């Protein structure tokens, strides 16, 4: 019996900016012990938008009727059908013919999802231009990070580690939240990395424990005293124990020499923030980028725990294959050099 568990969709027309994020999304679902009928990471909500140039993209009440180009990007159905086919390949006892059908359905679902991503961002002056631009988006290259941002936009808030800024009043010692909670991903800037041997996970702990200046004129909401500094803290820690940590590496658009990271991918790592343990985490997905193509390296969630690379292009055609544990340095693959741009960690029991 042939194994189809590493079989994903194949590439077509520059689709890697959707392919690799989808393979990472699927891996996170598997780590979250999903079944075929239940998604742990909820698909983005369906929101109607106005694609007319210069109009508020979430407000359909425009003054002139011709200024409205309504679009409703649909993520939910494509993601559900992609997941159903991918799960069937992962677990199923399929004949060659059955696998071929599942692979074709995966590609259709990927294309529908790509269309939603395009419709999410496209702007146009009129109906005709809108159609042309959407069709163009179905051929053009795009951002893999932007796709991840869309896929995980409305995932359950408790699934991902988030940060927020908190001020502790020097006068009355009461804590107040000065800024809103971050999104599900946390940006690791180069400054934090310099102090921790280019280890993004350590940079996260450092970044979250750092104090910084409060905006000038900030006053305590309880006693009115001046606030001097704020500290970045992890939401709900240590009670909440988020399942995933997502770190963005600021490298997608960097043209300079890429940072050689230290990922310690074989280690289960305990995250301490301000002296408290948040949980023990392991790296499970790396989005790799060459400057023109994305591939995904993922830790496969079975007993063998192999690192598998997914590349939709020929000669791989979406069939994952075993690779070395990611080190964080640049990687040679298919004649090009890749560097990590996004990291996902999962909490270990
Ligand atoms: Zn106070």
> Domain ranges in the chain?
16-151, 163-347
Q: What percentage of residues in the chain have a pLDDT greater than 70? A: 89
CB 86 within 8 A of CB 165: no
User: Each residue of 111-160: pLDDT tens digit?
Assistant: 999 999 999 999 998 899 999 999 999 999 999 999 999 999 888 767 88
For the chain, give the number of residues: 349
Ligand 1 center from residue 215 Cα (angstroms): 16
| Interatomic CA distance for residues 50 and 56, integer angstroms | 7
How far CA 120 is from CA of 73, 146, 147, in Å, comes to 6, 11, 10
CB 154 within 8 A of CB 43: yes
Helix axes 96-121, 127-137, angle to 10 degrees: 140
- For the entire predicted model, the pTM comes to 0.89
- For residues 306-322, give the mean pLDDT: 95
| Interatomic CA distance for residues 333 and 298, integer angstroms | 15
Ligand 1 center from residue 211 Cα (angstroms): 17
User: Each residue of 4-57: pLDDT tens digit?
Assistant: 999 999 999 999 999 999 999 999 999 987 778 888 888 998 889 998 887 655
Banded pLDDT at 106 (limits 50, 70, 90) = very high
Ligand 1 center from residue 8 Cα (angstroms): 55
Ligand 1 center from residue 219 Cα (angstroms): 8
- Identify the DSSP state of 107: H
| Interatomic CA distance for residues 211 and 229, integer angstroms | 6
- What phi and psi values does residue 148 have, to the nearest 5 degrees? -60, -40
Helix axes 16-31, 76-91, angle to 10 degrees: 70
Q: What percentage of residues in the chain have a pLDDT greater than 90? A: 53
Instruction: Please state which of the four CATH numbers 3.40.50.300, 3.90.70.10, 3.40.50.620, 3.40.47.10 is assigned to the domain occupying 163-347.
Output: 3.90.70.10
- For residues 312-337, give the mean pLDDT: 94
Ligand 1 center from residue 172 Cα (angstroms): 4
Ligand 1 center from residue 167 Cα (angstroms): 10
What is the four-CA torsion angle of 172, 166, 156, 285, rounded to 10 degrees?
A: -140
Residues with CB under 5 A from ligand 1 (ion): 169, 171-172, 220, 222-223, 225
Ligand 1 center from residue 218 Cα (angstroms): 11
């Amino acid at each position: 019996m042939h194994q189809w568990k590493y079989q994903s969709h194949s590439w077509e027309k520059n689709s890697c900016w959707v392919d690799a994020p989808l393979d990472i999304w699927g891996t996170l679902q598997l780590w979250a012990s999903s079944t075929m009928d239940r998604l742990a990471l909820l698909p983005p909500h369906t929101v109607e938008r106005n694609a007319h140039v210069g109009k508020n993209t979430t407000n359909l009440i425009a003054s002139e009727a011709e200024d409205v180009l309504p679009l409703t990007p649909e993520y939910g159905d494509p993601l559900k059908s992609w997941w159903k086919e991918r799960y069937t390949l992962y677990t199923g006892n399929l004949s060659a013919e059955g696998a071929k059908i599942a692979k074709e359905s995966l590609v259709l679902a990927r294309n529908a999802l790509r269309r939603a991503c395009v419709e999410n961002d496209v702007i146009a002056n009129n109906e005709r231009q809108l159609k042309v631009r959407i069709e163009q988006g179905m051929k053009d290259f795009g951002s893999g990070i932007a796709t991840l941002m869309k896929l995980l936009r409305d995932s359950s808030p408790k699934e991902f580690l988030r940060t927020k800024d908190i001020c502790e009043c020097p006068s009355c010692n009461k804590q107040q939240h000065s800024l809103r909670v971050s999104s599900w991903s946390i940006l690791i800037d180069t400054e934090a990395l310099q102090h921790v041997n280019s280890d993004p996970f350590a940079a996260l702990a450092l970044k979250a424990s750092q104090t910084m200046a409060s905006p000038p004129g900030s006053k305590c909401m309880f006693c009115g005293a001046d606030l001097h500094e704020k500290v970045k803290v992890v939401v709900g820690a240590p009670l909440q124990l988020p399942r995933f940590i997502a770190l963005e590496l600021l490298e997608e658009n960097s043209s300079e020499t890429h940072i050689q990271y230290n990922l310690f991918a074989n280690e289960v790592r305990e995250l301490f923030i301000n002296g408290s343990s948040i949980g023990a985490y392991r790296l499970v997905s790396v989005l790799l980028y060459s400057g023109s193509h994305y591939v995904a390296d993922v830790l496969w969630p079975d007993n063998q725990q192999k690192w598998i690379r997914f590349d939709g292009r020929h000669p791989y055609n979406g069939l994952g294959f075993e690779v070395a544990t990611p080190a964080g340095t640049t990687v040679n693959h298919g004649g090009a050099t890749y560097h990590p741009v996004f990291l996902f960690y999962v909490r270990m029991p």
